[in-house]
């Protein structure tokens, strides 16, 4: 077990190393999800800015999950490092965990800064922070699976770059993650679509646990069920698409 | 000691493409075994099956006594692969690549640093250790990929066109390194399109054509079986520059002597061209080229 953790750690570090070696690029990438918060803070009120900050934390986790697709694709089809690692004692689980957590390593500085800002913005609880992180992690797991399914299916470098970016707009910037779901009350069709997107549920739960919005118990239960179901479904899909040994 | 054994191996890809059919051979410990064939002949498919990266459809293959399909985990710690067209990560240095591959394969930090230094020295990469891979020449990048495999100190090494893009000196340093590895007991299977490389390195070779065995044996046997012999080129006499040279294929020492005597007598330049594997290869796979052309 210890050697498997070590393998995963070094695979993750190796995958993240280009960014870790270039702190300027690391800062830009880790703060990417937080840029809209600045505009919301400038053009709206502080309460909206705090909501968007929580949304940005949720999205940082989801983007790192989604962008695992690039690591999967490039390590398999471009660099061919996956083939080199298959022919070694590295386990497929270590490889998958390593590529998944490399994104988290990169995103961590931004998340820590955001958490500090949240703590400074008003009273909060340890449970609130814990549940915010838990919600984001479950969403992250589901989207890592999506990333693996995309990365393993994609056959050309252009699509490997464009698909996660299109999905990150569709799942991150359009649904009510930075802004409150209540803004869509006047647009029932848009609200119905938003409720189909997992980031909406994760953002709602995170904002609720941080005491920024009030939602009924059934919506909390629905949110958790949706996120867990999404992660399970995407896990199944990834297991069918991503192969360690080619068939 | 038999390190690799392949029995009637076949591979049909899920899309229906038949890549290999009825291939059988074995490789002994310390041997360099070359796989030759035209593009798409099935070389990479065969190498990937033996390196436990691809499942065969029929037949069996054993590496170090373990079945590649039933027991790949027993094989993997003892092998390493240089895949075809592998590329380094452009934003990392050669040192990072090799060190991290060593660490991922389970070496301690101290061992990994020592091993990285040794392999980089052996392949002439140490002076480039801190450059970005994007700043390396194509040959150095290829040497880096080879170093990432060699750092594992494998018992069996699989190389898919490892010297592609290397300059003549780079190729020779890789050949030297491969010979050193076999002297220490490693076994090597490599695919190549450079027939001079196969001629220089191969203890045995397999020529595959359209997924089937076209030839299996030594380089000398390949030349002998196809009737490719030494050629003697007799230049036209001085002052007759427009006449083409005579190209002769003597079958015995007496015939060689006769040609040399004639050259001396007529004051014509005589050069000897040894039989090459390239000519044998073309004769072996030539039939299928003609069929395709018509």
| Mean pLDDT to the nearest integer, B196-204 | 92
- pLDDT value at B216 more than 50: yes
Contact A87 B88 (CB under 8 A): no
Among A24-33, B160-169, B186-195, the range of highest mean pLDDT: B186-195
CB pairs under 8 A between A and B: 88
Please give the pLDDT value at position B228.
66
- Say yes or no: B233 and B100 in one domain: no
Q: Compute the nearest-CA separation of B200 from chain A (Å).
A: 26
- CB–CB contact B52 A85 (8 Å): no
CB proximity A23 to B under 8 Å: no
Q: Is A88 on the interface with B (CB under 8 A)?
A: yes
Q: Using one digit for the tens of pLDDT, what is the confidence trace for B238-247?
A: 776 677 888 8
Predicted confidence at residue B222, as pLDDT, reads 86
Q: Give A172 to chain B, closest Cα distance, Å.
A: 28
Parallel/antiparallel/unpaired status of strands B32-36 and B187-191:
parallel
The pLDDT tens digits for A122-170 are: 777 788 888 989 999 999 999 999 999 999 888 888 888 889 889 988 9
Q: Name which of A6, A21, A83 is nearest B81 (Cβ-Cβ).
A: A83
B chain contacts of residue A90, beta-carbon cutoff 8 Å: 104-105
Tokens 């993240």 belong to residue: A16
pLDDT of residue B129: 95
Overall domain count for chain B: 2
Provide CB contacts within 8 A for A59, sequence distance 6+.
Answer: A33, A172, A177, A178, A199, A203
> Which phi and psi angles does A36 have, rounded to 5°?
-60, -25
User: In this structure, what DSSP letter does residue B64 have?
Assistant: T
What phi and psi, each to the nearest 5 degrees, are found at residue B246?
-85, 130
Q: How far from chain centre, in Å, is Cα A101?
A: 11
Q: Identify from A21, A77, A83, A87 which residue to disrupt to test chain B contact, counting B C-beta atoms within 10 A and taking the largest count.
A: A87
Q: Which two tokens stand for residue B211?
A: 């997924």
Q: A155 CB near a chain B CB, below 8 Å?
A: no
Are the beta carbons of A230 and A142 closer than 8 angstroms?
Answer: yes
B219 and B235 fall within a common domain:
no
Distance CA B43, CA A78 (A): 20
For residue A28, give every residue at least 6 positions away whose Cβ sits within 8 Å of its Cβ, in sequence order, or none: none
The predicted pLDDT at position B278 comes to 84
A79 at B interface, C-beta within 8 A:
yes
Do B102 and B46 have their domain in common? Answer: yes
B201 and B74 in a single domain? The answer is yes
What's the pLDDT at A104? Answer: 87
From A42-46, A231-235, B255-259, the region with the lowest mean pLDDT: A42-46
Give the residue from A24, A134, A19, A35 showing the smallest Cα distance to A67: A19
| Pick from A107-116, A231-240, B34-43, B86-95: least confident | A107-116
Kindly state whether residues B122 and B246 are assigned to the same domain: no
Contacts of residue B52, Cβ cutoff 8 Å, sequence gap at least 6: A86, A87, A245, B63, B68, B72, B75, B76, B79
| Interface contact flag, A89 B52, Cβ < 8 Å | no
CB contacts, 8 Å: A70 with chain B: none
Longest dimension (CA), chain B: 72
Same domain as B216, residue B80? yes
Q: Which of B224, B257, B284 is the last residue of a domain?
A: B224
Same domain, B77 and B137: yes
Are A83 and B53 a contacting pair at CB < 8 A? yes
Q: Is the pLDDT of residue A211 over 80?
A: yes
| Count, residues in chain B | 294
Instruction: Please work out, in degrees rounded to the nearest 5, the angle formed at the alpha carbon of residue A144 by the alpha carbons of A138 and A147.
Output: 150
Residues from B contacting A (CB-CB < 8 Å) are 14, 48, 51-55, 72-73, 76-77, 79-89, 91-92, 96, 100-101, 103-106, 148-149, 152, 158
* C-alpha–C-alpha distance, residues A80 and B82, integer Å: 9
- Model confidence pLDDT, tens digit, residues B19-61: 999 999 999 999 999 999 998 899 999 999 999 999 999 999 9
Q: Higher pLDDT residue, B252 or B143?
A: B143
Instruction: Give A93's contacts (C-beta < 8 A, 6+ positions apart).
Output: A4, A8
Residues B199 and B130 in one domain: yes
3-state helix, strand, coil in chain A (%, to 5): 80, 0, 20
* B183–chain A nearest CA distance, Å: 22
Instruction: Let me know: does B92 contact A17? Beta carbons within 8 Å.
Output: yes
* Residue that terminates a domain, selected from B170, B203, B224: B224
- Beta carbons of B10 and B176 less than 8 angstroms apart: no
What is the domain extent for residue B139?
2-224
Nearest CA in chain B to A12: B104
CATH number of the domain that B106 lies in? Answer: 3.40.50.300
Q: Domain boundary residue among B176, B201, B224?
A: B224
Q: Are residues B140 and B81 located together in one domain of the fold? A: yes
pTM, two decimals, is: 0.85
Confidence (pLDDT) at A29: 81
B240 shares a domain with B142: no
Residues B250 and B217 in one domain: no
Q: What is the pLDDT at residue A9?
A: 94
In which order are the strands placed within the sheet that holds B231-234? B246-248, B231-234, B270-273
Most confident residue range from A157-166, A187-196, B215-224, B264-273: A187-196
Secondary structure of A33-59 as H, E, C letters: HHHHHHHHHHHCCHHHHHHHHHHHHHH
Is A26:A106 a contact under the CB 8 Å cutoff? yes
Q: How many CB atoms lie within 10 A of CB A234?
A: 21
**Beta-strand runs (E) in B1-46:** 2-12, 18-28, 32-36
Residue B65: HSE in the Cβ half-sphere, 13 Å Cα cutoff: 2
**Predicted confidence (pLDDT) per residue in B63-110, tens digit:** 999 999 999 999 999 999 999 989 999 999 999 999 999 999 999 999
Task: List, as one string, the DSSP characters of A138-193.
Answer: HHHHHHHHHHHHHHHH--SHHHHHHHHHHHHIIIIISSTTSS-GGGGTT-HHHHHH
User: What percent of chain B is modeled with pLDDT above 90?
Assistant: 60
Q: What is the pLDDT of residue B241?
A: 64
Quickly state the pLDDT bin for B287 (edges 50, 70, 90). low
Residue B288's pLDDT band (boundaries 50, 70, 90)? low
Q: Are residues B29 and B173 in the same domain?
A: yes
Strands laid side by side in the B66-67 sheet = B18-28, B2-12, B58-63, B66-67
Q: Residue B37's pLDDT is what?
A: 93
Please report the pLDDT score of residue B240 as a whole number. 66
């Amino acid at each position: 077990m210890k050697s498997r953790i070590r393998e995963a750690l070094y695979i993750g570090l190796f995958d993240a190393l280009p960014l870790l070696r270039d702190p300027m690029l690391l800062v830009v990438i880790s703060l990417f999800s937080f840029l809209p918060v600045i505009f919301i803070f400038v053009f709206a009120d502080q309460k909206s800015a705090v909501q968007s900050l929580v949304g940005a934390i949720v999205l940082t986790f989801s983007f790192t999950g989604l962008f695992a697709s690039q690591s999967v694709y490039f390590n398999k089809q471009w660099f061919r490092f996956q083939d080199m690692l298959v022919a070694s004692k590295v386990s497929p689980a270590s490889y998958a965990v390593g590529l998944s957590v490399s994104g988290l390593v990169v995103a961590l500085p931004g998340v820590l800064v955001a958490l500090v800002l949240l703590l400074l913005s008003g009273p909060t609880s340890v449970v609130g922070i814990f549940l915010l992180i838990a919600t984001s992690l479950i969403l992250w797991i589901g989207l890592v699976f999506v990333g693996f399914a995309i990365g393993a299916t994609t056959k050309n470098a252009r699509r490997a770059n464009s698909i996660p970016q299109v999905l990150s707009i569709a799942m991150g910037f359009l649904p009510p993650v930075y802004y409150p779901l209540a803004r869509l009350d006047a647009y029932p069709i848009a609200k119905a679509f938003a409720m189909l997107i997992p980031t909406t549920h994760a953002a709602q739960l995170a904002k609720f646990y941080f005491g920024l919005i009030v939602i009924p118990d059934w919506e909390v239960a629905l949110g958790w069920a949706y996120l867990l179901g999404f992660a399970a479904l995407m896990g199944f899909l990834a297991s069918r698409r991503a192969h360690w040994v080619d068939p | 000691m038999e390190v690799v054994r392949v029995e009637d191996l076949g591979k049909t890809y899920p899309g229906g493409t038949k890549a290999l059919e009825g291939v059988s051979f074995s490789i002994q410990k310390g041997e360099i075994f070359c796989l030759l064939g035209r593009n798409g002949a099935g070389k990479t498919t065969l190498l990937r099956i033996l390196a436990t990266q691809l499942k065969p459809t029929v037949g069996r293959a054993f590496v170090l006594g373990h079945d590649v399909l039933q027991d790949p985990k027993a094989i993997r710690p003892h092998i390493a692969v240089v895949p075809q067209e592998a590329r380094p990560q452009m934003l990392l240095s050669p040192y990072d690549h090799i060190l991290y591959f060593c660490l991922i394969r389970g070496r301690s930090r101290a061992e990994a640093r020592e091993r990285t230094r040794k392999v980089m020295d052996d392949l002439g990469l140490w002076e480039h250790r801190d450059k970005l891979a994007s700043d390396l020449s194509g040959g150095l990048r290829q040497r880096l990929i080879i170093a990432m495999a060699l750092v594992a100190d494998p018992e069996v090494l699989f190389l898919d066109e490892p010297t592609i893009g290397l300059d003549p000196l780079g190729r020779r340093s890789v050949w030297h390194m491969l010979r050193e590895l076999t002297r220490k007991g490693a076994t090597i299977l490599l695919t190549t399109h450079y027939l001079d490389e196969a001629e220089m390195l191969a203890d045995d070779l397999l020529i595959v054509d359209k997924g089937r065995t076209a030839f299996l044996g030594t380089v000398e046997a390949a030349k002998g079986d196809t009737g490719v012999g030494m050629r003697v080129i007799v230049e036209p006499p001085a002052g007759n520059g427009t006449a083409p040279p005579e190209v002769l294929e003597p079958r015995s020492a007496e015939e060689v002597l006769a040609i040399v005597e004639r050259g001396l007598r007529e004051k014509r330049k005589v050069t000897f061209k040894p039989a090459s594997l390239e000519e044998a290869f073309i004769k072996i796979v030539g039939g299928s080229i003609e069929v395709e052309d018509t």
